[in-house]
Amino acid sequence: EEETQFRNIFRQIAGDDMEINAEELRNVLNNVVKKHKDLKTEGFELESCRSMIALMDTDGSGKINFDEFRHLWDKIKSWQKIFKRYDSDHSGTINSYEMRNAVNDAGFRLNNQLYDIITMRYADKNMNIDFDSFICCFVRLDAMFRAFHAFDKDGDGIIKLNVLEVNYFVPVF
Ligand X SMILES: O=C(O)[C@@H](S)Cc1ccc(I)cc1
Residues binding ligand X (CB under 6 A): 29, 32-33, 36, 76-77, 80
Whichever of 11 and 77 has its CB closer to ligand X, that residue is 77
Q: Are strands 94-95 and 128-129 parallel, antiparallel or unpaired?
A: antiparallel
Q: Which amino acid is at 108?
A: F
User: Could you say which of Ca ion, ligand X, none residue 33 binds, taking C-beta under 5 to 8 angstroms by partner kind?
Assistant: ligand X
User: Is residue 1 within the footprint of Ca ion (CB under 5 A)?
Assistant: no
Among 89, 158, 160, 170, binds Ca ion (CB under 5 A): 89
User: Is residue 126 within the footprint of Ca ion (CB under 5 A)?
Assistant: no
Instruction: Tell me the sheet residues that pair with 128.
Output: 95
User: Could you say which of ligand X, Ca ion, none residue 144 binds, taking C-beta under 5 to 8 angstroms by partner kind?
Assistant: none
Whichever of 65 and 133 has its CB closer to Ca ion, that residue is 133
User: Could you say which of Ca ion, ligand X, none residue 76 binds, taking C-beta under 5 to 8 angstroms by partner kind?
Assistant: ligand X
| Residue showing the smallest CB distance to Ca ion in the complex | 91
**Cα–Cα dist 56/37, whole Å:** 27
In this structure, the chain runs to a length of: 173
Whichever of 59 and 67 has its CB closer to ligand X, that residue is 67
Whichever of 105 and 116 has its CB closer to ligand X, that residue is 105
**Cα–Cα dist 41/62, whole Å:** 25
Q: How far is the CB of 76 from ligand X (least distance, A)?
A: 5
11 close to 18: Cβ distance less than 8 angstroms? yes
Helices (H), ranges, the chain:
2-14, 22-34, 46-56, 66-86, 96-105, 112-122, 131-151
Whichever of 24 and 130 has its CB closer to Ca ion, that residue is 130
* 129 membership: H or E segment, kind and range: strand 128-129
Which region, left, alpha or beta, applies to residue 110 given φ > 0 means left and ψ of -120 to 50 means alpha?
beta
Q: How far is the CB of 144 from ligand X (least distance, A)?
A: 21
Residues at the contact surface with Ca ion, assessed by CB under 5 A: 87, 89, 91
